[in-house]
Amino acid sequence: MRFDIVTLFPDCFTSVLSSGLLGKALAKQIAQVHLVNPRDFTTDKHRKVDDEPYGGGVGMLMKPEPIFVAVESLPILPRREVILMSPQGQTINQPLLRELATNYDQLVVICGHYEGVDERVLHLVTREVSLGDFILTGGEIPAMALINGVVRLLPGTVGKAESIKSESFEEGLLDFPQYTRPANFRGWEVPSVLLSGNHAEIARWRYSQQIKRTGSRRPDLLKTWEQQKQEEQGENS
């Protein structure tokens, strides 16, 4: 998969793209990340990328021309999505990450800054995506989260692909509690069922813990999961 990140601050990505599983995945060419600075596509001597909004208001907006030319300079792969990181967009969740990892070969990600981008930039965009209902200084951190979440789903990034299937949100539930050595740490003991060697019992315990944890921490998710289960049962009856 190819990522093209349109950003005024490409240096922000240096450490993230070279660290951990993401760095290894890029080194193995599972994905490619190209950083494009719209400032390089300005035509004035001051390399100006922002200007005052028409109608007045506080702050500056990113100008459309450098963003358009930056995006238009990129190659176009057959399955391509142009994403604007924006607090007004669709919130990142696991189904979205899986959709992007499965259905696209190229993600062009535009990182807004200042008070946002000129509205006409949306003529380039096929999807707006948000990290959540809060405001950051720019789209770089949300873009990093998007890249990380998508790349880890690509075949070859995670050593054991089965481990992804049991994670939080993959089946609509939060993950179950997990433990490692020592079996007793400061009086807190590992649940005995995990030491039993009975894999069927362990699987049942983990499933029940997923339901319990989701109900206590994310009742909204549990409600959605229960509705989906009811619909599936109705279809199979």
Minimum mean pLDDT range among 85-89, 128-132, 230-234 = 230-234
pTM: 0.87
Rounded CA-CA distance 6/35 in Å is 6
Token pair, residue 3, equals: 């990522």
pLDDT tens-place string over residues 96-126: 999 999 999 999 999 999 889 999 999 999 9
Q: Where does the pLDDT of residue 159 fall: very low under 50, low under 70, confident under 90, or very high at 90 and above?
A: confident
According to the model, what pLDDT value does residue 171 have? 81
Rounded CA-CA distance 14/23 in Å is 10
Report how far apart the first and last C-alpha atoms of the chain are (Å, whole number).
Answer: 41
Domains, the chain, ordered by start: 2-151 (3.40.1280.10), 166-236 (1.10.1270.20)
119 neighbors 90 (Cβ within 8 angstroms): no
SS3 category, 58: coil
Average pLDDT, the chain: 94
Q: Where does the pLDDT of residue 164 fall: very low under 50, low under 70, confident under 90, or very high at 90 and above?
A: low
Measured from the Cβ of residue 5, the count of other Cβ atoms closer than 10 Å reads 26
Q: Is the pLDDT of residue 1 over 80?
A: yes
Rounded CA-CA distance 231/237 in Å is 10
Mean pLDDT, to the nearest integer, of 119-135? 96
Rounded CA-CA distance 60/4 in Å is 24
Q: Where does the pLDDT of residue 235 fall: very low under 50, low under 70, confident under 90, or very high at 90 and above?
A: confident
Q: Is the pLDDT of residue 19 over 70?
A: yes
> Percent of the chain at pLDDT above 90?
90
